[in-house]
Structures are given as C-alpha cells and as structure tokens.
Amino acid sequence: MPSQDDNFVLERRDGRLITSSVYSGMALAVVLWIAALGVTLVATFHQGFVDFPSPLDVFGTAILVGVGLFALLRRDMSTSFEPTNRQVVQDRILGRVWRWRTRRYSFDDIAGIGIRVYQGDDGKKSYHPTMTLKDGRLVSLTYHEEHRPSAHAILTEICPATGLSRLDVDENEKPLNVPISGTHAG
C-alpha cells in the first residue's frame, strides 16, 4: 500500500521503490491571464475604444495567454529506486505524455538520500526530499516542499531496501544529527 501525502507518494512495483511528485502551475497561469487582460484593457483604453489594439498589443496578449496555458500543463516526476540493478532512474514528464527528461544514477555515485531543510526569512522551515550525489550535486525527489512526517517515512523505507545512506542536511550543508520527525512543516 502506498505511503501518501498530497504530493509525494511511494509505491512498490516489481521490486522497485517508486516515488512520485506532481506539479501544476495554476497560480502562475492565473497571474499571466490577469496580466494579459490588463494589457488588453490598457490597449483598448489607449485607443479610445475607436480602433483595434495595435499588433504589438495583440502579440503581447497572445504571448501571456500562451505562457499561461503552458504553465497549466501537469508535470510529473517519478524516481525509481531499483535495488537489483543498483540504480536510480528519474523521469520528468510534461502534460502526461511528453517525456521531458530521464536521468540515471548508479548507487555508487550517490552519497545519500534525505531531507534538505531550508529556513525562510520569516522563520518558517521547508523540507525538500533530495538525493545527494558524491560530486556534491543535489537531485530533488519532488517539485516542492513536503510535510516532514510523510517525507521522513518514505525515505526511511527506501534506505534499508536499497542500502543507500540517509543524509539529512540544512541549508548550510550541515548534517542534521537529530532525526527529522514530528508534525508537518510550519
């Protein structure tokens, strides 16, 4: 049975542990469409309701609407931990059909998986499940922050099944000695 949060899901399939994350840019699309409406209204008032908006105004509106439509496309991230092949395969899919990017990582190249903790200017902490490579690069396992109990439970299940080390760090790359558990972020 999958462990699940609103966005970060773990399931077992054919000996693999697969985490999934979904992102939709609804808020960005709404902002862009409001901007497009603003451009259209300004162009219309500028012309005094007499003439059609200039081609540049129409082009600007069309660009904002098009980018808004693109922002609405669903983005899926799937990370498959494969103990038998000793590799991790991460797929990013745009709009449920277009495989945007596939990356493969050998277990030998992975320093550990864990939760990266960031603290904002307002004092609130955010928790991002990540995979740290031995060369220092970070690979995100989700599109945005997660609630810490569910992310902690998912990563705690992956580590013993794959033999990968647990590596929880703060924003200054300092390891966290205290296990991350408890209530959700905030």
185 within domain boundaries: no
What pLDDT digit, counting tens, does each position of 59-104 carry? Answer: 877 787 777 777 777 778 888 999 999 999 998 887 767 767 889 9
One domain, residues 87 and 43: no
**Is the residue at 81 inside a domain?**
yes
pLDDT in tens, 132-174: 888 888 888 887 666 666 777 888 888 888 989 888 776 666 6
Question: In the predicted model, is pLDDT for residue 37 greater than 50?
Answer: yes
Cα(14)–Cα(137) distance, rounded to whole angstroms? Answer: 29
Gap between the Cα atoms of 21 and 6, Å rounded: 9
CATH at residue 19:
2.30.29
Q: 133 and 149, same structural domain? A: yes
Is residue 161 located within the same domain as residue 107? yes
- How far is the C-alpha of 8 from the C-alpha of 30, rounded, in Å? 24
Domain hosting 60: range is 26-72
What's the CA gap between 90 and 15, in Å, rounded? 16
Would 58 be classed as within a structural domain? Answer: yes
- Give the total number of structural domains in the chain: 2
